[in-house]
Amino acid sequence: MLEQVVTELTQRIQRLRPGPGEPDPVDQLRANLTRVLTYVLAERELTDILLNHSTGFDHELDGKIQDFYDRIAALIKRSLDLGIEMNLVRNSDTRAVSYAILGGVKELIGMLSRSSDTDIESLVEEILQFGLSGVARPELLKFVPPRRETAGDRQPGNLSFFGPKLD
């Protein structure tokens, strides 16, 4: 069952295609998010199992669910890495950011799965705004000091939370 979910999610998340004649990258992200949320909310029973599984009673199932989330985080990480290569995403520790995104999405989906009134279009716009802009007003960002680069930032697989400094 978990394999099917990974397959379904993978099919709904399409690689961004920048360039002439292609939709704007944000529109492509919007379409990906819409497809994923539509699927997850259509499968509320499965969503409930994944989000509300009590750990410790069935170690085999615990491992399978953790593997499922690790695989989803790896998909997010690959997307972030590609976004960095395409100069659409800032340099960051994509492993840490992928789990932060996954945690936020899990909480959002959990909240949505308990709600009968779901406006997917509005939710997609909120997710996009948060993902692309965060929560700070632009004028606040001028007070954020630039991050100093460390030797660990330049090594593959570093686990620093903020990743390499922006140029």
- At 156, phi and psi to the nearest 5? -60, 145
Render pLDDT for 71-126 as a digit per residue (tens, 0 to 9): 889 988 988 898 888 888 888 899 999 999 989 888 888 888 777 777 889 888 88
pLDDT at 165 > cutoff 70: no
Task: Give the integer Cα–Cα distance in Å for 102 and 92.
Answer: 16
pLDDT value of position 95: 95
pLDDT at 156 > cutoff 60: no
Render pLDDT for 23-39 as a digit per residue (tens, 0 to 9): 888 898 899 899 988 98
CA distances from 138 to 4, 141, 146, 159 (A): 41, 5, 15, 27
pLDDT at 58 > cutoff 90: no
pLDDT value of position 68: 81
Question: Three-state SS across 58-83?
Answer: CHHHHHHHHHHHHHHHHHHHHHHHHH
pLDDT value of position 150: 46
Task: Give the integer Cα–Cα distance in Å for 26 and 19.
Answer: 13
